[in-house]
């Protein structure tokens, strides 16, 4: 939808056709866990506009339709309706699939909840009304949101993760700890370093639990929150080049290896700004920004996308959790040298109502002192600080700069000492200690 | 207190003596308006530690004592007790006085509330219990907080300001408008472009109101929130050099023109990082950071302060209000060339409970596109964004950088489109329009 809107904005005379296998367009799938968690009252709120709105806008949307073949030479797309659409420019936004569970019992989709389609989410929400227990498989971003949502809804929730802590690809154990503490308070069972071995079913084929390396867990459903795999079937069959992360390779203009074929969102890979490693499966704001570039380019305009530094954040447990680029764990795994510092500050004056802790961990390059990563957990202002720190990583801002940053101090909205500055000062102190 | 703590931290063997005319040390005067507004329940919460704590820390605090003379040659300070203290290093943190009202009836302090001393604030809080109406003189930061607090407390509140809108030194009319709208909803009477002409008193000398160029206003008290004037009497008499803003001139080490005499806080002036103009009367976080530099230096350590970009923020009306460096009004007044862009975004997903508007206005240098100022008004995340944008001004980050910034998108904590990015994109669009 972002690409379509940008294409029309660039060339209002363009004829834009969208093909989607879903019954709907332009809703916010990101809101689904929060409806399940009862923070948002209604699925209807997630829709951005009526179908008529898009008709009025001049978009030709083919709902419940799948593109089955792409011929980049003839410049045609074949639909499952049999229709063959010609194109001047094509944007591939085929997204992702959850990585296969690959265990016995997983072929039967019954009882397995793959969070994506809003219509299915509406059906699952009814199931949750009577479910007593649920397993969430993998504690990545969606898994973390779903564990929080299900526990908030009062369902006995089990997280099964082969890693030793949740969000292990982006956080360190000390940062996730307040989230885990809150989860335990909320009654969540954390099965870490635990391998899923089978989906267990009764004689009718209904899911009755899961088998794991930590034993059997009885459950009424399992949320499959495995990592995102780029849905490249159409592109691959058409001979479009894929990269080492499995995503479609694109240049700054979101151009693929095929002429006049662009791609965006979870189906592509984008170089990381610090490591230059291509990464795939970013956030909705990344997908949307990429879509706008692809749409502008598809309509003949000029717009570029940039390497990413990936600020991220969410509500997890009773905290907000966030970060930018590398954790200590990831930096170590990638062999990236770093120095780190961590500090806990507060979000408002210490005497102001609803003051919350804010913990910041910073990673810097030991030579240049440039920021290369951040993690945050706390009660307020996590998203805004993650955005700030992502720009700092991008622009080569150092922990010395951050240690001397100015900050707003006003009792209701900010504390005397900014937690980012405290963490930067701690990083410098750790460097000094290491040198002495 | 910041300087004293930093001095002891640098040299634990140092003998540190503090002289204060107040009965107390180390409370947060910034919290006073919020106790009056009943957001904070109790003045006791504003104290940071007991007097015994400072005794235990090894600080010799002389309460209710005034330094009456300074001899920078003999290196002595004379106290009003008659005692003469010698020093190796001296830190002047004599703060500010509110600019004199300079109108008839203002010589009598009765009924005039100068917000500063917590003991006096406690007495005034009792007066507010029965006060029906109050005048606030000048709509700077304190005036804005006090108008909000008094209105929140249900007192009929009048703001008298010679400027055409509140916070006129830092905001433009479009940015302050939501604050003014909320004030009007709360029953506040705004007397803009209005000169205070006299404090009106009854035959007993009790304040009964004020006379203004807009007519008489009946009131039970007047809050004097005029601008801060550096309290330099002691320094000036000792021949220490003052600057064009009236504050003590200091170098990066907070050294004054006198040997081994340092100064910090509202009594000094600091160069603005963009314009290089010396400015005085910054925030508590600035004062505290300067105090730490002065204290470290006074104890023989090395620490520097930097030119300032002045992120600021507060709760005003029913919004948070903030900014960095220049508004359009101030840039125009100073003859600084700029391009601007303004946009209103939202603080969370549009469908998430308690989503709030966030308006951002950015000013950039038209040639380099570097950010030179920002203003923000909205419901969430104003302080964190102001801190971010202050670092952007300091580091020469451009509106092109900000237009392509990555942002966290997660329904409960951040929207798809970051308001800062929207404002930067609008600034670029305005530049393109001006060039075409």
Q: Does B140 map to a domain?
A: yes
**A146 has a chain B CB within 8 A of its CB:** no
Same domain for A116 and A181? yes
pLDDT digits (tens, 9 = 90+) for A305-355: 999 999 999 999 999 999 999 999 999 999 999 999 999 999 999 999 999
Q: Does B83 map to a domain?
A: yes
Q: Does A242 map to a domain?
A: yes
**A395 has a chain B CB within 8 A of its CB:** yes
**A45 has a chain B CB within 8 A of its CB:** yes
**A388 has a chain B CB within 8 A of its CB:** yes
Mean pLDDT of A22-27: 89
CA dist., res. B33 & res. B372, Å (int): 31
Of residues A40, A313, A418, nearest to B414 (C-beta) = A313
Which residue, chain included where needed, has tokens 């469908």? B351
Q: Does B102 map to a domain?
A: no
Q: Do A409 and B382 touch (CB under 8 A)?
A: no
Tell me, letter by letter, the H, E, C secondary structure of chain A. Answer: CHHHHHHHHHCCCCCEEEECCCCCCCECHHHHHHHHCCCCCCHHHHECCCHHHHHHHCEEEECCCCEEEEECCCCEEEECCCCEEECCCEEECCCEEECCCCCCCCCCCCCEECCCCHHHHHHHHHHHHHCCEEEEECCCHHHHHHHHHHHHCCCEEEEECCCCCCCCCCCCHHHHHHHHHHHHHCCCEEECCCCEEEEEECCCCCEEEEEECCEEEECCEEEECCCEEECCHHHHHCCCCECCCCCEECCCCCECCCCCEEECHHHEEEEECCCCCEEECCCHHHHHHHHHHHHHHHCCCCCCCCCECCEEEEEECCEEEEEEECCHHHHHHHCCCCEEEEEEEECCCCCCCCCCEEEEEEEECCCCCEEEEEEEEECCCHHHHHHHHHHHHHHCCEHHHHHCCCCCCECCCECCCCHHHHHHHHHHHHHHHHHC
Q: Does B163 map to a domain?
A: yes
Residues in A touching B385 (Cβ below 8 Å): 384
Last residue of a domain, one of A244, A265, A298: A298
pLDDT at A436 over 90: no
Q: Do B420 and A387 touch (CB under 8 A)?
A: yes
**A31 has a chain B CB within 8 A of its CB:** yes
Complete edge-to-edge strand list for the sheet that includes strand A221-224: A112-113, A221-224, A133-137, A156-160, A189-191
Residues in B touching A40 (Cβ below 8 Å): 351-353, 411
Q: Which residue(s) pair with B410 in the sheet?
A: B414
How many CB atoms neighbour CB B106 within 10 A?
Answer: 17
The pLDDT assigned to A49 comes to: 86
As given in the structure block, the two tokens for residue A412 are 């209701």
As given in the structure block, the two tokens for residue A376 are 């945050």
**A152 has a chain B CB within 8 A of its CB:** no
pTM over 0.80: yes
Q: Do A388 and B388 touch (CB under 8 A)?
A: yes
CA distance B252 to chain A (A): 13
Residues in B touching A410 (Cβ below 8 Å): 30, 283, 312-315, 383
Q: Do A40 and B314 touch (CB under 8 A)?
A: no
Complex ipTM: 0.95
Last residue of a domain, one of A226, A255, A276: A226
Same domain for B428 and B319? yes
CA dist., res. B376 & res. A413, Å (int): 13
Same domain for B235 and B91? yes
**A286 has a chain B CB within 8 A of its CB:** yes
Q: Measuring CA to CA, which residue among B238, B267, B229 is closest to residue B250? A: B267
CA dist., res. A128 & res. B250, Å (int): 65
How many CB atoms neighbour CB B126 within 10 A?
Answer: 9
B258-262 long-range contacts, CB within 8 A, separation 24+: B258/B72, B259/B72, B260/B75, B260/B87, B260/B88, B260/B89, B260/B90, B260/B298, B261/B70, B261/B72, B261/B89, B261/B90, B261/B91, B261/B92, B262/B3, B262/B89, B262/B90, B262/B91, B262/B92, B262/B294, B262/B297, B262/B298
Residues in B touching A315 (Cβ below 8 Å): 410, 412-413
pLDDT at A435 over 90: no
CA dist., res. A196 & res. A214, Å (int): 9
Same domain for A330 and A417? yes
How many CB atoms neighbour CB A366 within 10 A?
Answer: 14
Same domain for A404 and A323? yes
Which residue, chain included where needed, has tokens 């849905």? A231
Instruction: Report the CATH number that the domain containing residue A419 is assigned in CATH.
Output: 3.50.50.60
The pLDDT assigned to A197 comes to: 98
The dihedrals phi and psi of B390, each to the nearest 5 degrees, come to: -65, -40
Residues in A touching B386 (Cβ below 8 Å): 408
What residues in chain B have per-residue pLDDT under 70? none
Q: Do A388 and B386 touch (CB under 8 A)?
A: no
- Number of residues in chain A: 436
pLDDT digits (tens, 9 = 90+) for B122-148: 999 999 999 999 999 999 999 999 999
Same domain for B420 and B316? yes
Same domain for B366 and B290? no
**A370 has a chain B CB within 8 A of its CB:** no
Q: How many interface pairs between A and B have CB atoms less than 8 angstroms apart?
A: 199
The dihedrals phi and psi of B367, each to the nearest 5 degrees, come to: -85, -55
Q: Does A122 map to a domain?
A: yes
CA dist., res. A21 & res. B365, Å (int): 48
Which residue, chain included where needed, has tokens 């004062």? B287
CA dist., res. B262 & res. B3, Å (int): 10
pLDDT digits (tens, 9 = 90+) for A393-431: 999 999 999 999 999 999 999 999 999 999 999 999 999
Cβ atoms of residues B240 and B72 within 8 Å: yes
CA distance B176 to chain A (A): 18
CA dist., res. A352 & res. A349, Å (int): 5
Last residue of a domain, one of A226, A243, A262: A226
Of residues A28, A283, A387, nearest to B405 (C-beta) = A387
Same domain for B423 and B328? yes
Of residues B283, B397, B412, nearest to A315 (C-beta) = B412
Q: Does B137 map to a domain?
A: yes
B273: CB partners within 8 A, 6+ apart: B306, B307, B308, B309, B325, B393, B394
- Number of residues in chain B: 436
Same domain for B236 and B90? yes
In B139-188, which ranges are E strands?
Answer: 156-160
Give contacts of A 301-330 with B, CB under 8 A. Answer: 306, 308-315, 320, 322
Same domain for A245 and A179? no
As given in the structure block, the two tokens for residue A321 are 């959790």
Same domain for A174 and A83? no
Q: Do B387 and A408 touch (CB under 8 A)?
A: yes
The pLDDT assigned to A375 comes to: 98
CA dist., res. B161 & res. B195, Å (int): 7
Per the structure, how many domains does chain A have? 3
Pairing of strands A59-62, A16-19: parallel
The pLDDT assigned to B436 comes to: 83
Same domain for A428 and A316? yes
The pLDDT assigned to A281 comes to: 86
Q: Does B57 map to a domain?
A: no
pLDDT digits (tens, 9 = 90+) for A279-302: 998 888 999 999 999 999 999 999
The pLDDT assigned to B338 comes to: 97
pLDDT at A374 over 90: yes
Give the range of the structural domain holding residue A322, as residue numbers without chain letter. 311-435
The pLDDT assigned to B48 comes to: 86
pLDDT digits (tens, 9 = 90+) for A222-235: 999 999 999 999 99
pLDDT digits (tens, 9 = 90+) for B30-54: 999 999 999 999 999 999 888 999 9
pLDDT digits (tens, 9 = 90+) for A43-66: 999 998 889 999 999 999 999 999
């Amino acid at each position: 939808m972002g690409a379509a809107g940008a294409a029309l904005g660039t060339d209002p005379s363009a004829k834009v056709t969208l093909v989607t296998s879903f019954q709907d367009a332009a809703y916010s799938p990101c809101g689904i866990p929060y409806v399940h968690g009862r923070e948002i009252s209604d699925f209807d709120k997630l829709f951005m506009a009526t179908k008529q709105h898009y008709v009025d806008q001049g978009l030709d949307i083919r709902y419940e339709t799948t593109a089955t073949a792409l011929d980049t030479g003839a410049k045609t797309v074949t639909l499952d309706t049999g229709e063959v659409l010609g194109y001047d420019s094509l944007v591939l936004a085929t997204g992702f699939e959850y990585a296969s569970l690959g265990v016995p019992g997983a072929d039967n989709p019954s009882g397995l909840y793959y969070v994506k389609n809003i219509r299915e989410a509406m059906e699952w929400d009814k199931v949750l009304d009577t479910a007593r227990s649920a397993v969430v498989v993998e504690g990545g971003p969606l898994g973390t949101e779903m564990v929080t949502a299900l526990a908030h809804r009062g369902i006995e929730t089990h997280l099964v993760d082969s890693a030793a802590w949740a969000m292990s690809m982006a956080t360190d154990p000390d940062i996730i700890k307040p989230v885990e503490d809150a989860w335990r308070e909320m009654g969540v069972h954390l099965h870490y370093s635990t391998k899923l071995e089978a989906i267990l079913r009764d004689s009718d084929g209904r899911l009755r639990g899961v088998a794991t390396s930590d034993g059997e867990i009885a459950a009424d459903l399992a949320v499959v929150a495995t990592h995102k795999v780029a849905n490249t079937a159409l592109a691959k069959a058409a001979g479009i080049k894929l990269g080492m992360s499995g995503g479609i390779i694109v240049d700054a203009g979101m151009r693929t290896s095929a002429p006049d074929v662009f791609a965006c969102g979870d189906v592509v890979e984008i170089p990381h700004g610090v490591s230059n490693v291509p990464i795939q499966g970013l956030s909705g704001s990344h997908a949307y920004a990429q879509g706008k570039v692809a749409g502008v380019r598809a309509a003949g305009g000029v717009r570029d996308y940039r390497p990413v530094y990936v600020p991220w954040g969410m509500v997890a447990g009773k905290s907000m959790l966030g970060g930018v680029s590398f954790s200590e764990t990831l930096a170590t795994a990638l062999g990236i040298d770093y120095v780190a510092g961590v500090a806990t500050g507060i979000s408002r004056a210490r005497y102001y109502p609803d003051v919350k802790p804010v913990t910041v961990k910073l990673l810097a390059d030991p030579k240049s002192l440039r920021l290369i990563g951040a993690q945050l957990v706390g009660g307020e202002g996590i998203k805004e600080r993650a955005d700030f720190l992502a720009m700092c990583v991008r622009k080569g801002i150092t922990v010395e700069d951050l240690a001397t940053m100015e900050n707003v101090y006003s009792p209701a909205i900010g504390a005397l000492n900014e937690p980012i500055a405290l963490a930067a000062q701690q990083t410098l102190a750790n460097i000094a200690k290491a040198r002495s």
